[in-house]
Amino acid sequence: YNVLTVDSGKACIDKLIDRKNKNEKVDLLLLDYKLGDISGDVVARKAKEIQNTKIVLITAFELDDKVIQDLVQNKYVVDVIKKPILLEQLSKKIEENMK
């Protein structure tokens, strides 16, 4: 895989915009919920507007069921994983969503 990294929600959005402007698709985004500047659900909604990237939301927090339902039902995210994450679990999620 070609892996891109960023260190904030804003940087993630900027990277997606940059890739779109270069006609380069980001196939899968592993997105932490708790970011320093913007929450992961806000980034997921914005990412969906920018390009149709599959997003796996990762969280250590107990998210409100309504938030998760909205994100999944409206296809902002394809899955939600709770921390701690086992490498095998993460690898499986990546493989499933790269098809």
pLDDT one-digit tens code per residue, 78-99: 998 888 999 999 999 999 998 7
pLDDT of residue 59: 87
pLDDT of residue 34: 87
Rounded to an integer, what is the distance from CA 22 to the centroid of its chain? 20
Q: Give the strand pairing for 79-82 and 54-59.
A: parallel
25 pLDDT above the threshold of 80: yes
Q: Which residue, 57, 40, 48, 56, is CA-closest to 20?
A: 48
Q: What is the pTM of this model?
A: 0.87
Q: Fill in the DSSP letter of residue 53.
A: -
pLDDT one-digit tens code per residue, 29-62: 999 988 889 989 999 999 999 998 999 999 887 7
In terms of pLDDT, which residue wins out, 33 or 65?
33
Task: Band the pLDDT of 77: cuts 50, 70, 90.
Answer: very high
Q: Is the dihedral of CA 58, 26, 8, 37 positive or negative?
A: negative
SS (H, E, C) 74-88: CCCCCEEEECCCCHH
Continuous segment of H or E residues that includes residue 54: strand 54-59
